[in-house]
Structure 1
Amino acid sequence: MRRRTVAAAILAIACGLLSPVAISPPAANAAQVVRVDELNSTRSALFIDSPAMGRVIQVQVLHPAGGGSRGSYYLLDGLDPGATQSTWTQATDAEPFFRGKNVNVVLPMGGQASYYTDWISDDPRFGRYRWETFLTQELPPIVDDYFSGNGVNAIGGLSMGGNAAFTLAVRHPWLYSAVAGYSACPDTTIAQGATMFSIANRGGNPLNMWGPPGDPAWAEHNPALLAERLRGKTIFLSTGTGIPGPHELEIKPQLPENLFFGGPIEVGVNACVSAFASRLAQLNIPARVDYSPVGTHSWSYWQDTLHASWPTIGGALGA
């Protein structure tokens, strides 16, 4: 990790083995790690002072216990992230599932109803949202530095996080080799009404994100319109049908409305995924799309599809 590297360099300077110029302080406007909590041998929490966001952001990372370089999978949360940990580790078996795999799994904390994007205006409810800048510019060098990242990245997420994963992938195509969406709708035209409602339902002003419907910013963040930028990437999408399946009686942290409307929500997701898959097929861009005959918009199904996606995403990362 970086703090150990810095400590070793300081010791070497003291012993006359290195010139002091070997250590470069971070740029004045660079994000800086202010604290690291090693939660266990394969899970760490970084507290990062983000100039873009104007506050300290917690990011938890699942990582191998040993050394060696590895790729990184940025795994985004849904509309209501956990307060003390990602819902991926709270509601699924992501931590034991990735243990022993040669990959960093990067789990940003916070960002309720943010769509992990840079909002055009600060919001009275949410404050300053500059998630795109944080995730694509400030965070990757820190992850690579602290956790031996090799610069090969994938990004994925569920629902809101999956929408955002595709948006970030088309806006920063050089950064990601693979992208995954679990019950996600990567078409901001189809999802516009639901997106604006979800922000307002959490107390935010949806006009502060990309402006009103028809504002060019919506098109500039639309993976369906920018799908050509996905060419050459490994792509995974999954959706249920909204028909109840084997997990309906399990108690999991759900989005509040999903306890009652998880079926209808997934019906809409299914239609959007089908339309997006058709768009990719028209462009002759390969994608793996998993259509489950059952399944609602809920965490137990996302655990299933996380497992199902790993041969695809892990292969792209060389893991």
Structure 2
Amino acid sequence: MRTRVVAAAVFAFAAGLLGPAVTPPVTAHAAQVVRVDELNATRSAIFIDSPAMGRTVQVQVLHPAGGGERSSYYLLDGLDPGATQSTWTNATDAEPFFRDKNVNVVLPIGGQASYYTDWAADDPRFGRYRWETFLTAELPPIIDDYFAGNGVNAIGGLSMGGVAAFTLAVRHPELYRAVAGYSTCPDLNIAQGAILFSIANRGGNPFNMWGGPADPAWAAHNPALMADRLRGKTIYLSTGTGLPGPHELEIKPQLPENIFFGGPIELGANACVNSFAGHLKDLNIPAHVDYSPVGTHSWSYWQDTLHESWPTVGGAIGA
């Protein structure tokens, strides 16, 4: 396992020295809905022909059973999302938790190791990743049209998805009133090595995303460098310490390495959350930060913090 991981990282680094190829520009026509499957009264799957992605993308939506306009919470997955449903619905009680709440919970399906961003180049392993364009330009009008969205949005995510949530929030501040990160690292100066490794470990070339470590694209996506754009938004962050807690014996779908390394990974997230929260404080930008004295990088703790975050996130969007 270690040999495969190191080899993948070395290969990705060598390939990255040549620089990523340029992905062709996106065709300028609107995304189209292919079909909508009503999975039950409060959960639907919508399939969207995305010009940005060059394929049909599935998004699942948790929504009220009745009519009426409501806000939307875009909730992003972790490094290894489910292929047929979000891990939020597979590994937590998100579906019953939101069933009685007047909100659309928007769950993109897929995007392994994508960081939900627009990659500079198509990748031999992952294909075309243009998640930022899909999530910020193509998807919101469709959600509002099909699920009675009122244009008031929040975005959140765990781990990889939390990095993306803060990146999208600072790059598109007009779209979101609130942003939440569960066990994440919104400072790319701190997270860069882990991000590069995580993509290489999944078989991708990490330099196809934002180029090499010194590429200006990294700064252009770094929430820590654009934190002032979060001013006026509701901000939620949570982290454990990596110490074992009440959920360690539970079996949940989660990153394979988290079974063994969930403690150290969460310890790293804790250090980054502390640093980012301190940066926000220096800028006089308020943030709600939940620090747990225990907890590893695993789904049962993210279920807990999803519940804990909702008064903050939901209150900001009137849900």
TM-score between the two structures when normalised by the length of structure 2: 0.91
Shift in Å, 1:62: 0.2
1:122 match: 122
Q: Deviations over 1:93-145 (max 9, x none)?
A: 00000001000000000000000000000000000000000000000000000
The sequence identity of aligned pairs, in percent, is 85
Change in 2 beyond 3 A, CA 1:160/1:28? closer
CA distance in 2, matches of 1:272, 1:162: 12
2:151 match: 151
1:46 match: 46
- Output the amino acid matched with 1:75: L
CA distance in 2, matches of 1:278, 1:215: 26
Task: Give the 5 Å matches for 1:13-28.
Answer: none
Shift in Å, 1:83: 1.4
Shift in Å, 1:284: 0.2
CA distance in 1, matches of 2:230, 2:45: 31
SS class of match (1:191): helix
2:104 match: 104
Task: Give the 5 Å matches for 1:248-287.
Answer: 248-287=248-287
Shift in Å, 1:305: 0.2
Shift in Å, 1:317: 1.1
- Output the amino acid matched with 1:283: L
Task: Give the 5 Å matches for 1:1-319.
Answer: 29-319=29-319
- Output the amino acid matched with 2:223: P
Q: Deviations over 1:213-238 (max 9, x none)?
A: 01000000000000000000000000
CA distance in 1, matches of 2:240, 2:283: 24
Q: Deviations over 1:18-71 (max 9, x none)?
A: xxxxxxxxx971000001100000000000000000000000000001011000
Q: Bigger CA drift: 27-36 or 114-123?
A: 27-36
SS class of match (1:49): strand
Larger radius of gyration: 1
SS class of match (1:176): coil
SS class of match (2:190): coil
SS class of match (1:189): helix
CA distance in 2, matches of 1:112, 1:56: 16
SS class of match (1:170): helix
Aligned length: 293
CA distance in 2, matches of 1:237, 1:299: 16
**Structure 1, unpaired ranges of 5+:** 1-26
CA distance in 1, matches of 2:35, 2:198: 33
Change in 2 beyond 3 A, CA 1:234/1:247? same
RMSD: 0.8
Shift in Å, 1:84: 1.1
SS class of match (2:273): helix
Q: Deviations over 1:199-255 (max 9, x none)?
A: 000000000000000100000000000000000000000000000000000000010
TM-score between the two structures when normalised by the length of structure 1: 0.91
CA distance in 1, matches of 2:265, 2:161: 15
CA distance in 1, matches of 2:31, 2:261: 39
SS class of match (1:181): strand
Q: Deviations over 1:141-167 (max 9, x none)?
A: 000000000000000000000000000
- Output the amino acid matched with 2:314: G
